[in-house]
Structure 1
Amino acid sequence: MNTVVKITGFGAALVAFFGAAYGLGSAVGPVTSEPAPAAHSRHDGGASPAPGGGSADTAPGGLQISEGGYTLDLKTAGVRAGEEGELRFAIRDRHGRQVTAFQREHDKELHLVLASRDLVTYQHLHPSRAADGTWSTPVTLPAAGSYRVFADFTPGVKGGKNLTLGADLPVAGPFKAAEMPVPSRTVTVDGYTVTLDGTLPPGKPGRLTQNVARDGRSVTDLQPYLGAYGHLVALRSGDLAHLHVHPNGEPGDGRTPPGPGISFTTTAPSSGTYRLFLDFRHNGTVRTAAFTVESGAGGDTAARESSPAETDGHAGTGGSRGHGH
């Protein structure tokens, strides 16, 4: 057979093959690498019981960009390390419209968290929403690499489902890989020592308490932050699965003291290594204490002892610099 004819025939076969594949893809819907939608952790810090003594509410959020008919539309393609940029995004409904109605939860319509893939850098920001539903906030990220953006919100006016959607944000610049901070039970940040008690067992609720001290004395006058004495975000190493929980009790309920202990109940969806980021407010400043904890290994250990040098500053944002107000 003539060589030109052979090539022509081969090209036609390729066109036919990919044309059929495109048609099949159009018939079954777009292909995505995002995992199946997962339920979001309850904001009261509890977990619904499930048969067998586990929890029916252990599936983390933040692994998907779309869930329940809503999509996180990240309008910022990327930023440069060490330079202030603007992060812009919107929440779109199933019709592609930008959402403008949100329920206020813990003093905000939407909570925004940024974390590096190595879980060394963490920032909890409070963006502003324009009338058309576009959210924006200034952001400065200290190191190059891949970051995950988490948007935690409840759409609608009343009765909507709380969602946490996630999207990746590239940060340009010279890249240097960082190691996960070692498991720790004591962290020092800006002169405050925060000690972690409790366990994080996989598949069932565990109680965690962070005790805050300064200069060797317990802090008993913590100030409310986002409607509570503490705000906890937990991220699983590897896929950055997001668990967003809140304290047991709240200011003014007649039974929750303003320190030194801040108690949470949460469920790890699986065995593995997690980073816990505790935001607390004292003397008008919000600080972040970050812990590395293990679930399932070594008897469901919450954390192991490590030196202050290993834990100081591992929130990655220098305490209150991790917050936007």
Structure 2
Amino acid sequence: MHTGLRITAFAAALAATFGTAYGVGRGVDPVVADKAPAPHETHGRPSTEQQERKEGGDHEDRESAPPGGLQISENGYTLDLATARVTAGQRTELRFTVRDGSGKAVTAYQREHDKELHLVLASRDLVTYRHLHPTRAADGTWSTPVDLPRAGGYRVFADFTPARKGAGNLTLGADLAASGPYDPAPLPAPNGTVRTGDYQVRLDGALRPGRASELKLRVSRRGEPVTDLQPYLGAYGHLVALRSGDLAYLHVHPNGEPGDGATKSGPQVSFTATAPSPGTYRLFLDFRHQGTVHTAAFTVRAGTAPGTRPSAPAAETEHSEGHGH
């Protein structure tokens, strides 16, 4: 680490590109096609042989799909990031467009969790995180203000579903560079609990590669369980997972929803998730309480020995509270 090293926007972009190539070049397995099954979905139970193969770490025969968020184009759609460079510490308008196969800007989307498009922005070292909700102009151009605190490489993820019949959900990604004094941070160490402001969030359950598993996140404030979480984008919590190295993207939603007659408003929010592959991940939980959205960031390792407790960074993480929610 060289504190105070001055990099230009071009150097930051180059570093981000190299980081992507390095992560892929290290031979990390691709993201599996199926996300975590929602409570209302029915999936066939795998055979004993298939289940043992998944649990045993044999990934060569696993059905795979292009990694989520690692591609800028997929299924005829392209993320056109007009703002590819910003200056760290300066408020900038981030602008982008989603284009179809003919190059036209997409102007019709399906609303999912109260929004047409969800925008996630994360630094390459997975310390800075933003969950943003940009506005769309009539011509299809999306925009949102951003103020990134640190220089270096970032990845922008657009999570959306076009309104076209038969179109599925897509997550497209593009690199963003922030210029300024570059001081890379190490990935926070695993720990069982994380704090964000006055809140403490505990994570229980194991993130498993190629296999759905339940993750339970329990929210407390000043030692007392929070039983009055407020709906945020149609749920009591949202979870984004990013794989360390290449930033493969996994967006999962909680089991149950407000008003379904069974889901309580805390202190526990439950998710069902499938890790794309063995490795280290950062999990970002967004939740709302007393009118404010908070983010708890966890570092977890998928593929560890059975019975190992998942983890979270002991130190607080730069997160999205007050930045786009």
Whether these two folds match at TM > 0.5 is yes
Q: What's 2:76 paired with? A: 69
Quote the Cα distance in structure 1 between the aligned partners of 2:205 and 2:101. 41
| Matched residues, number | 286
Q: Which residue of 1 aligns with 2:316?
A: 313
Q: Describe the shift of the 1:116–1:300 C-alpha distance in structure 2 as closer, same or farther (beyond 3 A).
A: farther
For 2:186 and 2:64, the matched residues in 1 are separated by 31
The higher-RCO structure (CA 8 Å, 6+ apart) is 2
Conservation of the 8 A alpha-carbon contact between 1:294 and 1:302: no
Give percent identity, aligned residues only: 62
- With over 3 angstroms needed to count, the CA separation of the structure-2 counterparts of 1:37 and 1:233, relative to structure 1, is closer
1:92 is aligned to 99
Residues 207 and 266 in structure 1, CA contact (< 8 A), matched pair in contact too: yes
Matched, 1:44 2:38: yes
Distance 1:264 1:130 in 2: 34
Is 1:263 equivalent to 2:266 in the alignment?
A: no
Q: Which residue of 2 aligns with 1:80?
A: 87
- Shift of the alpha carbon at 1:123? 0.2
Shift of 1:303: 1.9
Q: State how far apart, in whole Å, the 2-side matches of 1:104 and 1:43 are.
A: 20
Q: What letter matches 1:320 in structure 2?
A: E
Give the Å deviation of 1:300. 7.2
Structure 2 spans left out of the alignment, 5+ residues: 1-20, 25-29, 55-61
- Following superposition, the deviation at residue 173 of structure 1 comes to 0.4
Does the Cα contact within 8 Å between 1:186 and 1:193 map onto a contact in 2? yes
- Name the CA distance, whole Å, in 2 between partners of 1:99 and 1:209: 37
1:228 to 223, 235, 256: 235
Distance across 2 between alignment mates of 1:217 and 1:157: 47
Provide closer, same or farther for how the CA distance between residues 169 and 300 of structure 1 changes in structure 2, counting only shifts above 3 A.
farther
Tell me whether 150-159 or 100-109 shows the greater mean CA deviation. 150-159
Call closer, same or farther: CA 1:138–1:81 in 2, change over 3 Å. Answer: same
1:164 CA displacement:
0.3
Is the 1:43–1:244 contact (alpha carbons within 8 Å) kept by the matching residues of 2? Answer: no
Check if 1:149 corresponds to 2:156: yes
Shift of 1:58: 7.8
Q: Is the 8 A contact 1:43 1:245 kept in 2?
A: no
Structure-2 residue corresponding to 1:24: none
Specify whether residues 158 and 106 from structure 1 end up closer, same or farther in structure 2 by C-alpha distance, changes over 3 A only.
farther
Q: Is residue 324 from structure 1 mapped to residue 310 from structure 2 by the alignment?
A: no
1:122-161 equivalences under 5 Å are 122-156=129-163, 159-161=166-168
**Alpha-carbon separation, structure 2, partners of 1:258 and 1:267:** 24
Alignment of 1:221-300 (within 5 A): 221-299=228-306
- Equivalence for 2:217: 210
Structure 2 distance, partners of 1:219, 1:125, is: 25
Q: Structure 1 residue 320: deviation in Å?
A: 1.2
Shift of 1:95: 0.5
Match of 1:171 in 2: 178
Question: Which structure has the larger Rg?
Answer: 1
CA contact (8 A) 1:40 1:163 kept: no
By how many angstroms is 1:59 displaced? 6.3
Alpha-carbon RMSD across the aligned residues, in angstroms, is: 2.4
Q: TM-score, normalised on structure 1? A: 0.82
Question: What amino acid maps onto 1:99 in structure 2?
Answer: V
1:193 aligns with 2:200: yes
The one-letter code sitting in structure 1 at the alignment partner of 2:143 is S
Contact 2:229–2:287, Cα closer than 8 Å, also in 1: yes
Residue 159 of structure 1: CA displacement?
Answer: 4.3
| Structure 2 letter corresponding to 1:167 | A
The letter for the 2-side match of 1:138 is P
Q: Write out aligned runs for 1:85-124 (5 A).
A: 85-124=92-131
